Amino acid sequence: MWVHTPQGDWVVPPNRAVWVPAGIEHSIDMSGKVLVQTLYFAQAVSSSFPGHCCAVNVSPLVRELIRHCVSLGMLDRKQPAMARLLGVLVDQVKALPAIPLQLPLPADERAKAASDWLRDHPNDPGLIKQIAKRVGSSARTLERLFRQETGLTFGKWRQQLRLLHALRLLAAKRAVTTVAMEVGYESTSAFIAMFKKALGTTPYRYFA
């Protein structure tokens, strides 16, 4: 699942979730067959949650709590058993570890044009000076804009784009070698090394 917001995109592989605060406009794309389970929290309940979007690893306990709550429907805090269940759920959700599955988006027209082009061509090997020329900018200016508006260098931003795009392809059961080529890596080993450095394990083990 890919969640789009004006500030950035989040990819949500299996057994992960994304927190979207109230008032954040967003849209969702699906890759392959996806089962989505969604919890809506009253603002009074979620006031201690982050004020920004974030992706999190869902623990086995939280996964089962979500399934149970979805089967019950709306929880009534006036009922003691439901109030206790809600308390456990909120405590567990707040403790979920955030994971680096965000792609922040620049606002400047030149940087946005570059990011849009790269998102359409994740396997393109072009240097920053070539991308800058496409959008009517200098390489130095484009690098500065990406640092200022996304907090990432141009190279790190493109690597993050490729990682998130790779997760979508892997979730759709594409072979690791094929995915590596489709996101711009010349060798499977280089792709696996990048993936492991970013997420702490290999693509196969991540989805296992």
Q: What is the DSSP string of 118-140?
A: HHH-TT----HHHHHHHTT--HH
With 0-12 CB in 10 A as exposed, 13-18 as middle and 19+ as buried, what is 146?
Answer: buried
According to the model, what pLDDT value does residue 87 have? Answer: 93
According to the model, what pLDDT value does residue 12 have? Answer: 87
Read off the pTM. Answer: 0.79
According to the model, what pLDDT value does residue 45 have? Answer: 87
According to the model, what pLDDT value does residue 150 have? Answer: 92
| Whole-number Å distance between alpha carbons of 116 and 36 | 27
Close Cβ partners of 133 (under 8 Å, ≥ 6 residues apart):
none
According to the model, what pLDDT value does residue 101 have? Answer: 86
Return the structure tokens found at 41: 């929290």
According to the model, what pLDDT value does residue 193 have? Answer: 94
The number of residues in the chain equals 208
Close Cβ partners of 50 (under 8 Å, ≥ 6 residues apart):
19, 21
Q: Give the DSSP per-residue string, the chain.
A: -EEE-SSEEEE--TTEEEE--TT---EEE--SS---------HHHHTTS-SS-EEEEPPHHHHHHHHHHHHH-S--TTSHHHHHHHHHHHHHHHTPPEES-EEE---SHHHHHHHHHHHH-TT----HHHHHHHTT--HHHHHHHHHHHHSS-HHHHHHHHHHHHHHHHHHTT--HHHHHHHTT-S-HHHHHHHHHHHHSS-HHHHH-
Class of CATH domain 105-207? mainly alpha
According to the model, what pLDDT value does residue 41 have? Answer: 92
Is 164 within 8 Å of 147 (Cβ atoms)? no
According to the model, what pLDDT value does residue 47 have? Answer: 87
pLDDT in tens, the chain (208 residues): 889 988 888 888 888 899 999 989 999 988 777 888 999 999 888 888 988 898 998 999 999 999 999 999 999 989 999 999 999 999 999 998 888 888 999 989 999 999 999 988 888 877 889 999 989 999 999 999 999 999 999 999 999 999 999 988 888 888 999 999 999 998 999 999 999 998 888 998 887 7
Is 10 within 8 Å of 53 (Cβ atoms)? yes
According to the model, what pLDDT value does residue 199 have? Answer: 86
Domains in the chain: boundaries? 2-99, 105-207
According to the model, what pLDDT value does residue 70 have? Answer: 92
| Whole-number Å distance between alpha carbons of 153 and 143 | 6
